Amino acid sequence: MFRNQDKFHKRRKFDNLIFGRQPVLELLNSEKSVDKILLQNNTDGDILSEIKKIAAQKNIPVKYVPVEKLNTLTGGIHQGIIAFTAEIEFQNIENILPLIIEQGNVPLFVLLDGITDVRNFGAIARTAYAAGAHAIILAENDAAPVNAEAMKTSAGALSKLPVCREKNFNHTLEYLKLNGLQILGADSKAEKMCFEIDFTLPVVIILGSEDIGISPSVKKYIATTIKLPMQNNFDSYNVSVAAGMLLYEIMRQRLIDNL
């Protein structure tokens, strides 16, 4: 009796969790947005093949995991597959940029490279929306889930600020570069301070994870790396705090420019 209750409570912790082959397939064929799919290692079948095909078409991350992982999340009834629904509808950067330009606004995007902590993600989204950013760009993999906790931490900003989940950062950054955006990376070892940059121009700010930083494949697109001033010699700022400081400087410059 008590064991079954434990399994029930484990399932109830994840209100955005769908498991079972047919339910996941039906979810993918619906209009709902899917954050990611977990597949049990060494599983196959016609329905799973169809699920993987649709997931690839919709740029939905599929990750293979041990059966123990699925058991922990569901209490043991999953048929080798779990899907997590997203709290928002993901958008495409190539649809957003033309609209921003048509409205006469100066584009400002925040690209998160390898930031997987939900609270940092939510906090960045909250500040980005308040500071006037037009979208947050995430990778298909190695990104924080857009779940209820992220929504709560963002204070609802994620329901207002477009989030673009891109399969290939190389393609995205090349597209933005060709459209005249300066691509800047936050790096504590950079030579230029953030206030030395003209942020009144169209810009993409790239923030990397605190442990690894910006990945090499993304670094090659960066025109300039920038850092934040620091009074005392210390490791670095928390990434969400750093994002807030950078976005404040961008907002300050743009507000002064519009006076």
CATH code assigned at 126: 3.40.1280.10
10 lies in which domain range?
Answer: 2-85
Who contacts 169 (Cβ-Cβ below 8 Å, separation ≥6)?
111, 113, 137, 139, 217, 218
Gap between the Cα atoms of 143 and 8, Å rounded: 28
pLDDT in tens, the chain (259 residues): 333 334 333 444 456 889 999 999 999 998 888 988 999 998 888 899 999 999 988 888 899 999 998 998 888 789 999 999 888 889 999 999 999 999 999 999 999 999 999 999 999 999 999 999 999 999 888 888 888 889 999 999 999 999 999 888 999 999 999 999 999 999 988 989 999 999 999 999 999 988 889 999 999 999 999 999 988 887 778 999 999 999 999 999 999 877 6
**Pair 117, 135 in one domain:** yes
Residue 7's CATH number:
3.30.1330.30
Q: What is the amino acid identity at position 225?
A: T
- In this predicted structure, what is the pLDDT of residue 14? 54
- In this predicted structure, what is the pLDDT of residue 217? 93
**How many domains does the chain divide into?**
2
**Pair 39, 65 in one domain:** yes
Task: Identify the bridge partners of residue 183 per DSSP, sorted by sequence position.
Answer: 204
- In this predicted structure, what is the pLDDT of residue 127? 97
- In this predicted structure, what is the pLDDT of residue 3? 37
**Pair 133, 78 in one domain:** no
Q: What is the amino acid identity at position 27?
A: L
**Pair 106, 226 in one domain:** yes
Domain end residue (candidates: 42, 62, 85): 85
- In this predicted structure, what is the pLDDT of residue 35? 87
Whether 175 contacts 93, CB under 8 Å: yes
Looking up tokens 């999953």 gives 78
- In this predicted structure, what is the pLDDT of residue 32? 84
Q: What's this model's pTM, rounded to 2 decimal places? A: 0.84
**Alpha carbon distances (Å) from 241 to 121, 123, 126, 167:** 11, 8, 11, 27
Domain end residue (candidates: 33, 63, 85): 85
Residue 95: count of CB within 10 angstroms of its CB: 10
- In this predicted structure, what is the pLDDT of residue 17? 87
Domain end residue (candidates: 57, 85, 113): 85
- In this predicted structure, what is the pLDDT of residue 168? 87
**Pair 157, 99 in one domain:** yes
What are 199-226's pLDDT values in tens digits?
999 999 999 988 889 999 999 999 999 9
Gap between the Cα atoms of 253 and 147, Å rounded: 33
**Pair 209, 122 in one domain:** yes
Gap between the Cα atoms of 127 and 2, Å rounded: 44
- In this predicted structure, what is the pLDDT of residue 233? 80
- In this predicted structure, what is the pLDDT of residue 29? 92
Q: What DSSP letter does each residue of 81-143 carry, written as one string?
A: EEEEE-SS--B-HHHHHHHHHHTT---EEEEEES---HHHHHHHHHHHHHTT--EEEEESSSS
- In this predicted structure, what is the pLDDT of residue 75? 81
